[in-house]
Amino acid sequence: MTNKLVHARILISCKDRPGIVAKVSSILYELGANITESAQHSTDPFKGDFFMRIAFYLPEDKAEEALIQNTFEAIIKEWEMDFHYAPAHKKKRMAIFVSKEDHCLQEILWQHQSGALDGDIAMIVSNHPDHEKTAANLSIPYYHTPISKETRSQTEAMQLELIKNKTDFIVLARYMQILTPEFIDTYKQPIINIHHSFLPAFVGAKPYERAFDRGVKIIGATAHYVTSELDAGPIIEQDVQRIDHGYTVDAMKKVGRDIERQVLARAVHWHLEDRILRYGNKTIIFR
């Protein structure tokens, strides 16, 4: 009887101290693991925090979640570790929240179809009916959940019901409604958002118009995890593109859409592959 090999990852964070790598890799060695990727980061080896991602192959009979948890239990307790075990075959399920603009939605759908995304799209949720046909063509459940100031709490409750137990994270793919702190607290799982970014920043209404008036030479986008503090959660990824004086506000928005879909797609990729560790209001990305 052959013992199939399964691929898995472990994410660890704790106070830095000598011997963590030695200990963790020894345990994996004893389990028969074959490490394929390993990255670590220390904010300060003497009094800082330590982060580690290890990807490896493991014999199937050693890869069971409870077994792994059990094996690491002692050091998790002793070193007060945040410990996350993720077998690669257990794909993460996302809900895509979207409003009218579809550039980010389309990018994620296309990446998924092309087989490049290491995860599943459980559903699309929108406050508009616009993308129903797109979803149907791909046999993805589509929930039209209209929302207004008056219905917000009611609609959010319904949305929470829809995603409960069916999703592992939410992607806000240009979802133009603000999620309430209650929604975020209740869902508990990660929520990834994308928005435009400029040098310098233009906080508030009509950012493209103001960036145009200021004559910026660069347009950017930032993907981040959502926290209750609006647009100020841990940054996952950023990118920019050059423009010049010839760009109208509309042309700038078009460039903005192109960067947004690329940046969001990268953030979703890394999240799916457990490459992101949150650290206070920052992220460690092990690419």
Residue written as token pair 């209740």: 186
> In terms of CB distance, is 106 or 145 closer to its own copies?
106
> In terms of CB distance, is 145 or 238 closer to its own copies?
238
The structure tokens listed for 89 are 């075959």
Best CA proximity match to 136, nearest among 151, 154, 124: 124
* 231 catalytic residue (yes or no): yes
**3 state SS of 19:** coil
Residue 154 phi/psi, 5-degree rounding, is -65, -50
For residue 165, the minimal CB distance to its own copies (Å) is 31
Best CA proximity match to 101, nearest among 187, 35, 27, 195: 195
For residue 12, the minimal CB distance to its own copies (Å) is 13
For residue 240, the minimal CB distance to its own copies (Å) is 5
> In terms of CB distance, is 160 or 203 closer to its own copies?
203
> In terms of CB distance, is 152 or 210 closer to its own copies?
210
For residue 46, the minimal CB distance to its own copies (Å) is 7
Using alpha carbons only, give the angle 224, 285, 241 rounded to the nearest 5 degrees.
60
User: Quick check: 220 and 240 in contact, CB under 8 A?
Assistant: yes
For residue 137, the minimal CB distance to its own copies (Å) is 6
Distance CA 284, CA 151 (A): 38
Distance CA 277, CA 287 (A): 11
| Residues at the interface with its own copies (CB under 8 A) | 16, 18-23, 25-26, 28-29, 32-42, 45-46, 56-57, 102-103, 106, 110, 114, 116, 133, 137, 197-201, 203, 213-218, 220, 222, 234-240, 244-246, 254, 257, 279, 281-285, 287
> In terms of CB distance, is 64 or 258 closer to its own copies?
258
Best CA proximity match to 159, nearest among 57, 150, 170: 170
* Burial class of residue 1 (count of CB atoms within 10 Å of its CB; 0-12, 13-18, 19+): exposed
Best CA proximity match to 192, nearest among 226, 233, 163, 229: 226
Say which of 49, 118, 120, 231 is annotated catalytic. Answer: 231
| Enzyme catalytic residues | 231
